[in-house]
Chain A
Amino acid sequence: MIFVTVGNHFQEFDRLLKKVDEIAPRIPHEIVIQKGYSKYIPRNTKHFDFVPMDEAMNYIQRSDLVISHAGIGTIILCKENGIPLIIFPRRKKYGEHGTDHQVEIAEALKERGDKNIYILYEENRLEEKIMEVVGKKEMVEAGNRGRENLIRTIKEFIEAFQE
């Protein structure tokens, strides 16, 4: 299954949804779209506006590939579950977000060389990218050191305040 999500930002992200819908008949995988506030109604895929967090997690865990804007929640869940992720940033110039900070996130991840994460800017290359990376799970080190450090730091702060 391929899960596509565009987040809860109020601006539409029809550019991605239209392209996914267009190529869907040629993709040999089931495609499910969480379309959020986008106006475009996909004709060739299963879709819904939003689902509760545990259901969204469930979709991601069952996916062979996730395609999304540079949304932090999706990036975290894909990394945690080792799911390949195509990041297609929302752009200011197309009225998809107020700033181009999603490009900054995408570029920062690219520079760090994160495994299982693929950055894409041109929708015309989406189909070939999907076929290239769907189901391709690169081995990564288990655990999330950043998360462990954050939890420890917060815990220590609370404990110090307890004394």
Chain B
Amino acid sequence: MKRNQKIGLICSHGGHFTELLQVLGAFEGYPTFLLTYKEVSTSNQKSAYYIANIGKNPVAFIFGLIKILFIFLKEKPTILFSTGSEIAVPPFYLGKFLFGAKLIYLECSAQVYHPSLTGRFVYPITDLFLVQWEPLLQQYGPKARYVGGLI
């Protein structure tokens, strides 16, 4: 029985968004919402919240943070899933510590040997941490898992 779960799907535009679309099958049957950047490539998505790119400047970051807080107060996510990039960091910390959400992070398949900055930020608090290239396991701690990649 699929009860009481609300899954927040978080990603920036471009390849991160394509990666997220690839694994949507994992969330079938659960209520979900999408949190992404407002860009041409991410337009016209169902149950989507759009924010301006938080990586651009501190003002955009603060505005993004406030908006994410309001979205979470409304949606009350119990699980957050992200394919990166930096857009994952504020919602993961807010989700974990204010809402007790479980966190799932899928490191981008662009990271073959080196961890992404986002990955390093969220690794300590993430409950299921997946990488897409085996050599990358050595760069993270024992929590990281490799079961395969999208490319």
Contacts and interface: CB of A to CB of B under 8 A. Distances in A.
22 contacts: A7-B15, A8-B14, A8-B39, A49-B40, A50-B41, A72-B16, A76-B151, A101-B112, A101-B114, A105-B151, A146-B148, A146-B150, A147-B148, A150-B130, A150-B150, A151-B23, A152-B147, A153-B128, A154-B81, A154-B130, A158-B5, A158-B79
Interface of A: 7-9, 49-54, 56, 70-77, 79, 101-102, 104-105, 108-109, 144-155, 157-158, 161-162
B111 A161 contact: no
B13 interface: yes
Query: Considering residues A51, A70, A72, which has the most beta carbons from chain B within 10 angstroms of its beta carbon?
Result: A72
Given A147-B23, A154-B128, A158-B26, A8 B79 contact: no
Given A75-B151, A104-B112, A153-B130, 17 more contacts: A8-B13, A49-B40, A50-B40, A50-B41, A52-B42, A53-B41, A71-B14, A72-B110, A74-B15, A76-B18, A76-B109, A146-B149, A147-B22, A147-B148, A148-B148, A154-B23, A154-B81
A151 B109 contact: no
Query: Considering residues A56, A149, A154, which has the most beta carbons from chain B within 10 angstroms of its beta carbon?
Result: A154
Given A108-B133, A150-B130, A154-B23, A72 B17 contact: no
Interface size range of chain B in the complex: 35 or more
B108 A150 contact: no
Contacts, number: 128
Nearest to B42: A53
B86 interface: no
Contact of B26 (A9, A71, A150, A161): A150
Contacts of A158: 5, 7, 26-27, 30, 79, 104
